[in-house]
């Protein structure tokens, strides 16, 4: 998939030449900062394609490519999502289908931001309990935003939600996790970005996710603190302290 920040420049030249009735499948996970649009919305802007689908979930390409078992979800129009699932599923690659395109895309964007926070905890050597709490509360934040913008709550407990969030916060393949870990060890975010060969999608998504939440009136303290660290130069350990000392409330 094309990283979200490059979708518009890659697909805009197609314009009216793209066959409108031909389904277009996105593998990208993120939010365009300037427009706060998700990948399927950007693709529709560029091509006016009538049938947009997204394929998302805990399926690392490095593992899928060598035949290790994985399950993901295809979201969009039900009949087309089901057809794609049947087309690409294999004995080692199982595809479910969903009509919640918005929820699946929000999960894909949000989990990368939480993964940066998970990496920061790793870099600070704060332990497994801290990471478990972060994953749980991070999922709660993403779910709150999803429900507020019209997504289906059950999506966030599925493959695109907790499934992808778990693997992104735990896998050695994760670029967002590696980025956060280096921040936790004391490197500057901008220096890390410059040194990494591949795109850190969470770095490009966090600001957009924060703006979406603010526009929807949804509180996302983890996302806010990630932004304060990666964009504003806040100290990572102090950001953790701020999260841990927020006013107490019911779960």
- Return the pLDDT at 78: 97
- Is residue 156 within 8 A of residue 146, CB to CB? The reply is yes
Q: Helix, strand or coil for residue 90?
A: strand
Q: What are phi and psi of 73, to 5 degrees?
A: -130, 140
- Return the pLDDT at 249: 94
Residue range 138-151, pLDDT digits in tens: 999 999 999 999 99
- Return the pLDDT at 237: 98
The reply to whether the predicted model has a pTM over 0.85 is yes
Of the CA atoms within 13 Å of residue 236, those in its CB half-sphere come to: 23
- The tokens for 248 are 């107490």
Of the CA atoms within 13 Å of residue 56, those in its CB half-sphere come to: 37
State yes or no: is 111 an active-site residue.
Answer: yes
- Return the pLDDT at 228: 98
Q: Low-confidence residues of the chain, pLDDT below 50?
A: none
- Is residue 20 within 8 A of residue 48, CB to CB? The reply is yes
Give the chain's domains with CATH numbers.
Answer: 4-101 (3.40.50.720), 102-244 (1.10.1040.10)
From 29, 48, 102, 111, active-site residue: 111
- Return the pLDDT at 66: 96
């Amino acid at each position: 998939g094309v990283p979200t920040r490059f979708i518009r420049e890659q697909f805009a030249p197609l314009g009216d030449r793209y066959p409108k009735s031909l389904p277009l499948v996105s593998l990208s996970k993120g939010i365009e900062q300037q427009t706060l649009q998700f990948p399927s919305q950007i693709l529709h802007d560029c091509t006016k394609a009538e049938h947009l689908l997204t394929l998302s979930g805990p399926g690392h390409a490095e593992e899928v490519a060598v035949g290790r078992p994985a399950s993901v979800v295809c979201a969009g129009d039900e009949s087309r999502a089901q057809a794609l699932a049947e087309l690409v599923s294999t004995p080692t690659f199982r595809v479910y289908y969903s009509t919640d395109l918005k929820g699946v895309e929000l999960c894909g964007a949000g989990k990368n931001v939480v993964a940066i926070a998970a990496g920061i905890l790793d870099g600070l050597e704060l332990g497994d309990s801290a990471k478990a709490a972060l994953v749980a509360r991070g999922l709660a934040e993403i779910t709150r935003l999803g429900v507020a913008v019209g997504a289906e709550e059950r999506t966030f407990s599925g493959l695109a939600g907790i499934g992808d969030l778990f693997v992104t916060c735990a896998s050695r393949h994760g670029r967002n996790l590696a980025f956060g870990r280096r921040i936790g060890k004391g490197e500057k975010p901008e220096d890390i970005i410059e040194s990494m060969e591949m795109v850190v999608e969470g770095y490009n998504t966090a600001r957009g996710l924060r703006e979406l939440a603010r526009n929807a009136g949804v509180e996302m303290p983890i996302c806010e603190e990630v932004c304060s660290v990666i964009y504003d130069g806040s100290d990572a350990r102090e950001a953790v302290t701020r999260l841990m000392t927020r006013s107490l409330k019911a779960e």
